């Protein structure tokens, strides 16, 4: 805990279809799916990531800076029913996510690069983001989309997710549209397993996952999306 921030453990693993099928089979009768997954047992996440005029978030990730943060706006199943501005911070290997709700109109204004007025009562994460838009040129840079299968367990606030079909798009202006031009970020068949928890990770879940046999990675969806953008832009970030 740092002020009102709660930091969590977060581990990421690149896995293939065979590993995913095995781990999913082990988990499905062990811990429940997230209640938001619905009957399909999955949902789609679409996030637009922001960076400043110096691409600080990109380069801090590339350099492995110990204490860093990035901002994104996230929606689910390409719907405007829940729109969240999120700040994801990382420090000493731990992560913290803070969020503030946005209206469709507010989101559209931010995507166009127009800061909202700072008003009393706004969440701290929103006020800081608006300050960065004005002072550091924080703007929408890339859209990341993927399909997620989420499992949760209350003891330790454990969250285990499988992310597949991870894609990147430069079409920020089509953020709420069903169709946009997307490019795959991972090789065919690859997907991402994420394991998140507070202080406690039940041993019986850890053993079923056999985490020690998996390939841990520092995978960043934002970083790889922007890195792909570099090749599309002739070797320069924009």
Distance between CA atoms of 13 and 191, rounded to whole angstroms?
A: 8
Q: What is the pLDDT of residue 86?
A: 98
Residue 210 has what pLDDT?
A: 84
pLDDT 10s digits, 20-60: 999 999 999 899 999 989 888 999 999 999 999 999 999 99
Helix H, strand E, coil C: the string for 175-220 is CCCCCCCCEECCCCCCEEEEEEECCCCCHHHHHHHCHHHCEEECCC
Q: What is the pLDDT of residue 94?
A: 95
**Predicted pLDDT of residue 15:** 94
pLDDT score recorded for residue 227: 85
Domain range annotation of the chain? 15-232
Half-sphere exposure in the Cβ direction for 128 (13 Å, CA): 14
Residue 178 has φ and ψ, to the nearest 5°, of -60, -40
Report the percent of the chain where pLDDT is more than 70: 94
Residue 233, pLDDT score: 53
For residue 4, with 0-12 CB atoms within 10 Å meaning exposed, 13-18 middle and 19 or more buried, which class applies?
Answer: exposed
3 band by pLDDT with thresholds 50, 70 and 90: very low
Is the separation of the CB atoms in 15 and 216 below 8 Å?
no
* Span 15-232 CATH architecture: Alpha-Beta Barrel (3.20)
- pLDDT band per the 50, 70, 90 thresholds, residue 236: low
| DSSP states along 51-117 | E-TT-HHHHHHHHT-SSEEEEEEEEETTEEEEEEEEEEEEETTEEEEEEEE--HHHHHHHHTT-PPP
């Amino acid at each position: 805990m740092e002020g009102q921030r709660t930091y969590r453990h977060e581990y990421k693993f690149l896995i293939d279809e065979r590993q995913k099928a095995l781990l999913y089979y082990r988990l499905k009768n062990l811990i429940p799916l997230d209640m938001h997954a619905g009957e399909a047992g999955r949902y789609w996440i679409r996030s637009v990531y922001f960076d400043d005029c110096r691409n600080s978030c990109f380069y801090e990730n590339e350099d492995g800076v110990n204490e860093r943060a990035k901002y994104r706006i996230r929606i689910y199943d390409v719907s405007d029913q829940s729109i969240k501005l999120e700040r994801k911070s990382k420090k000493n290997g731990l992560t913290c996510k803070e969020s503030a709700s946005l209206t469709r109109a507010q989101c559209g204004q931010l995507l166009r690069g127009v800061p909202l007025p700072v008003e009393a009562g706004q969440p701290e994460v929103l006020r800081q983001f608006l300050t960065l838009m004005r002072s550091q040129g924080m703007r929408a840079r890339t859209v990341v989309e993927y399909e997620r299968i989420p499992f949760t367990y209350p003891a330790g606030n454990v969250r285990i997710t499988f992310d597949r079909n991870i894609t990147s798009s430069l079409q920020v202006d089509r953020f709420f549209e069903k169709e946009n031009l997307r490019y795959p970020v991972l090789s065919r068949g690859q997907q991402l397993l994420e394991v998140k928890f507070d202080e406690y990770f039940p041993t019986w879940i850890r053993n079923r996952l056999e985490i020690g046999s998996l390939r841990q990675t520092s995978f960043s969806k934002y970083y790889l999306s922007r890195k792909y953008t570099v090749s599309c832009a002739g070797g320069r970030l924009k």
